Each structure stands twice: as C-alpha cells, then as structure tokens.
C-alpha cells in the first residue's frame, strides 16, 4: 500500500482547476487578510498573537482543498512575485504520489533552505481490477464485514439517487445544509456552513463542476427514506470524496459508509477506477483503503525577513524538542525529524526516511 502505486489522474485535479480558484477568490478570500496576490498565489497577514503577525506566501485555496502542488506553474508564479513582494515565509502541503511534479530543486538552487516533515496521510481505494479484486486485498474480517453489510442492506431496497442540473443542485444543498447545520450545531455548537460565504462557495463550485461534467451529487435511500447525502467529484476515472452528511435515519446501518460500499460495488457502472478519500487520520478510511499517500508539510523562510527566519527556526526547534509527559515510560519516543532538502533529495527514486 504505497503512494507510488496510485495512478495519477490525467490533467489537473479538480481543486487546481481555474474554476476552483475563481470560486475561492470570489467567496472565501475575504476570510484572509490578503495584502498581495499574483495569479493563484497570495500573501496573507497571519495573526500569531496580539500585536504580532506574519505575512505568509501561500497557494490560494489552502484551507479549502486536499493539497496544492508546487509545480512548474506555481514556481513561475513564485519567481514573478517573490523578488519584490514583502513576505516572511512560504507554506505548502504536498503528497508523495505527486513528488515528480514538485519543483523544489530550483528553489534550493535559488538559495532557499527548505524544511519539511510528515504531515498527514491520504487514503485511496484502488478499483482498477474491479470490486472483488479490491476486496481480496483487505483483511478477511474487513472483507467479510463489507459483504455482510451489503447483503443485509438489500432487504431495505438501497438506492442511490443522483441530483443533477441547476434545480438538482439547489435541492441537494438545501437538504445538505439543513442536516449539516443541525448535526454539527448540536454536536460541537457550530457548522462551517453557518458562514454564508462557505455556502455560496460550495454552491458556486458545484455549478462550475456541473458545467464541466464532473459533479456527482447523490442521496442514499433505504426503504425510500433519505439516509445520507454525498458530494463527490468524478473526473476521468478518479472519484474525489468531498463532503457527506447523514440525516439520522437508519443509524445502525452507518449509511455514509454503506452508500460508499454500494458506489464501490457499482464502480464499473460509474466508470470509477480509484477513489481519493482525502487526507485525515480517520479509522474508517484506514479500514477500507488499499492505498496510502503520505503528505508532507513544507516550509521555508524569506532570507530577507528576520521575522520569517525566526518563525521557521522556532517551528523547527519546537517540533524537534516536544514537551513530553513525565508519565511516559519505556523506550524513548521517536521524534519526527525535519528533512533538510539538498539538491538531489527530491529526484525521482529518492525515499524519505
């Protein structure tokens, strides 16, 4: 289960299409104190503590996507603005499966000292050989559990219904927002969709994806009762999981997972060969994924910014010297090490420790 085994989709992933950026700039960029922008790079003022802020150079959509590549296009945008713009440090998250696309070597040649560390894990489901072949790669217990749940649900007439067109999008999200707001407000006191800008963004992005033929909005029904709503993006043969919410009906069947199992079982009908479930250390993802993709957090300071250099050194020191509880016994805990990138260290074939 490695990142190298993941088949990279043809073309750009959906969250790096211009339609995504257009929607981000229109609806979500006001959330950030942006002081300068060039194409899809932005410098925003990040408040660290009272009376102290840093100017972060970053990709647009940083908090609204799985990752952003530092590819050739991004490198060219960076070069066009970094020499004159006032910024303190650059931050980026990237996945190992797309290592060959990253333009880190030219950065080191320009004199930037890059540090990075493991950040998270993205989980993938490989369906290239079909659903049965996928199941054969899971543990016997997990394989039995999925088959049992699919068979048990058949008595409830499971049905995936697609919402499409302008009316379908409006109908889907009127339901989705209601259930999302109700559930998360009750659970933690708020939902990010309480923000009208978040609602407007996802609606506008859905409409743009629909025009590109990449939107998959579905409701999962048991005995005619809506149990789950899911927004996915289907580009080529890759399905990208975006957002999902259960309605509260039939909770004993875990309808969010059950709807995914039914979608996977019909992978050939959907023309799906792999599913990107995104990053996040969630047990349900680890239990059903048969491919993993490590993510790395990358950071480098502006050599002309004392603040930026001080902050990056602070982050590096803090992660290398975490405060440990006195209750810890036994062998010493291994501390994740930052990786100092040298010129050849990101060439194809190189492996992170």
Q: Are residues 92 and 155 in the same domain?
A: no
Between 11 and 24, name the one with better pLDDT.
24
- Position 351 scores a pLDDT of 28
Question: What's the average model confidence in pLDDT over 224-239?
Answer: 96
Q: What is the pLDDT of residue 324?
A: 52
Average pLDDT over residues 330-340: 36
Distances (CA, A) of 109 to 93, 253, 270, 344: 21, 55, 45, 11
Domain coverage including residue 148: 129-272
Q: Is the pLDDT of residue 216 over 80?
A: yes
Q: Are residues 189 and 251 in the same domain?
A: yes
- For the chain, how many structural domains are there in total? 2
The answer to whether 241 and 278 have CB atoms below 8 angstroms apart is yes
- Model confidence at 341: pLDDT above 90: no
Q: Residue 48: left if φ>0, alpha if ψ -120 to 50, beta else—which one? A: alpha
**Alpha carbon distance 36, 84 (integer Å):** 11
Within a domain: 348: no
The reply to whether 287 falls in a domain is no
Residue 319 clears pLDDT 90, i.e. is over it:
no
Q: What is the mean pLDDT of residues 161-181?
A: 97
Cβ burial 89-103 (10 Å sphere, 16+ → b, else e): bbbbbbbbbbbeebb
Look at residue 331 and tell me whether its pLDDT is greater than 50: no
Q: Is the pLDDT of residue 10 over 70?
A: yes
CB 96 within 8 A of CB 3: yes
Q: How far is CA 243 from CA 102, 122, 160, 180, in A?
A: 27, 15, 16, 10
Residue 250: DSSP 8-state = S
**Is the Cβ–Cβ distance between 15 and 66 less than 8 Å?**
yes
Q: Which of 263, 273, 297 is nearest to 93 (CA)?
A: 297
Rounded to whole angstroms, the Cα distance separating 82 from 38 reads 10
Kindly state the percentage of the chain with pLDDT values over 70: 89
What angle do helix axes 196-211 and 165-188 make, rounded to 10 degrees?
A: 150
> What angle do helix axes 140-153 and 255-265 make, rounded to 10 degrees?
100
On whether the CB atoms of residues 181 and 165 are closer than 8 A, the answer is: no
Are residue 322 and residue 268 in the same domain, yes or no?
no
Of how many residues is the chain composed?
Answer: 353
pLDDT of residue 346: 29
Domain boundary, last residue among 272, 304, 328: 272
Whether residue 228 is found in the same domain as residue 266: yes
Q: Is residue 4 part of a domain?
A: no
Higher-pLDDT residue of 313, 2: 313
Q: Label the pairing between strands 339-340 and 291-301.
A: unpaired
Q: Work out the end-to-end distance of the chain between its first and last CA atoms, rounded to an integer number of angstroms.
A: 17
User: Residue range 145-174: average pLDDT?
Assistant: 97
Domain identity same for 70 and 189? no
Instruction: Say yes or no to pLDDT of 313 above 80.
Output: yes
Give the model's pLDDT for residue 332: 37
Q: Are residues 152 and 250 in the same domain?
A: yes
Residue at 218 is within a domain: yes
Q: Please, are residues 164 and 213 in contact by the beta-carbon 8 Å criterion?
A: no
Task: Please tell me the predicted confidence (pLDDT) of residue 4.
Answer: 74
CATH number at residue 248: 3.40.630.30
More confident residue, 321 or 151: 151
Which of 6-20, 190-204, 235-249, 300-314 comes out lowest in average pLDDT?
6-20
The reported pLDDT for the residue numbered 280 is 79
The verdict on 97 and 215 lying in the same domain is no
Residue 184 has pLDDT above 80, yes or no: yes
CA atoms of 43 and 35, how far apart (whole Å): 6
Is 178 inside a domain boundary? yes
Q: Do residue 133 and residue 267 come from a single domain?
A: yes
Q: What tokens does 73 get?
A: 């296009």
137 and 213 assigned to the same domain: yes
115-150 pLDDT per residue, tens: 988 888 999 999 999 999 999 999 999 999 999 999
Contacts of 303 (CB under 8 A, 6+ apart): 111, 112, 309
Whole-number mean pLDDT of the chain?
87
Position 329 in a domain: yes
Asked whether residue 289 is assigned to any structural domain, the reply reads no
- From CA 286, how far away is CA 280, in angstroms rounded? 10
Q: pLDDT exceeding 90 applies to what percent of the chain? A: 67
Position 3 in a domain: no
pLDDT at residue 312 tops 90: yes
Please name which of 81, 3, 95 lies closest in space to residue 37, comparing C-alpha atoms.
Answer: 81
Q: Are residues 192 and 261 in the same domain?
A: yes
Do residue 95 and residue 134 come from a single domain? no
Domain identity same for 50 and 181 = no
- Taking only the tens place, the pLDDT of each residue in 47-86 is 988 888 999 999 888 655 668 889 999 999 999 998 889 9
* Confidence band, pLDDT 50/70/90 cuts, at residue 181: very high
């Amino acid at each position: 289960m490695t990142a190298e085994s993941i088949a990279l989709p043809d073309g750009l992933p959906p969250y790096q299409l211009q339609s995504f950026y257009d929607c981000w700039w229109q609806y979500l960029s006001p959330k950030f104190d942006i002081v300068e922008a060039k194409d899809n790079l932005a410098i925003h003022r990040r408040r660290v503590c009272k009376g102290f802020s840093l100017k972060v150079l970053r990709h647009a959509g940083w908090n609204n996507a799985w990752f952003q590549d530092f590819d050739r296009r991004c490198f060219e945008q960076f070069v066009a603005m970094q020499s004159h713009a006032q910024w303190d440090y650059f931050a980026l998250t990237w996945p190992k499966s797309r290592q060959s696309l990253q333009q880190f070597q030219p950065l080191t040649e320009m004199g930037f000292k890059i540090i990075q560390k493991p950040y998270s894990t993205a989980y993938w489901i490989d369906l290239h050989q079909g659903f049965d072949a996928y199941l054969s790669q899971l543990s016997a217990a997990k394989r039995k559990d999925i088959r049992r749940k699919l068979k048990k649900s058949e008595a409830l007439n499971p049905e995936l219904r697609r919402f499409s067109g302008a009316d379908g999008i409006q109908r889907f999200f009127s339901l989705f927002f209601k259930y999302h707001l109700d559930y998360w407000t009750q659970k933690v006191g708020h939902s990010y969709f309480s923000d009208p800008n978040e609602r407007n963004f996802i609606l506008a992005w859905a409409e743009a994806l629909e025009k590109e033929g990449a939107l998959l909005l579905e409701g999962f029904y048991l005995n005619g009762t809506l149990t789950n709503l899911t927004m996915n993006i289907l580009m080529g043969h890759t399905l990208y999981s975006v957002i999902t919410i259960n309605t509260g009906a039939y909770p004993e069947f875990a309808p969010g997972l059950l709807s995914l199992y039914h979608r996977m079982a019909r992978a050939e009908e959907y023309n799906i060969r792999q599913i990107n479930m995104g990053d996040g250390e969630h047990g349900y993802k680890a239990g059903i994924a048969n491919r993993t993709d490590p993510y790395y957090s990358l950071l480098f300071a502006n050599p002309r910014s004392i603040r930026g250099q001080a902050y990056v050194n602070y982050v590096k020191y803090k992660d290398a010297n975490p405060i440990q509880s006195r209750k810890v016994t036994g062998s010493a805990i291994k501390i994740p090490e930052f990786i100092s990138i040298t010129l050849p260290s990101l060439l194809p074939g190189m492996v992170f420790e």
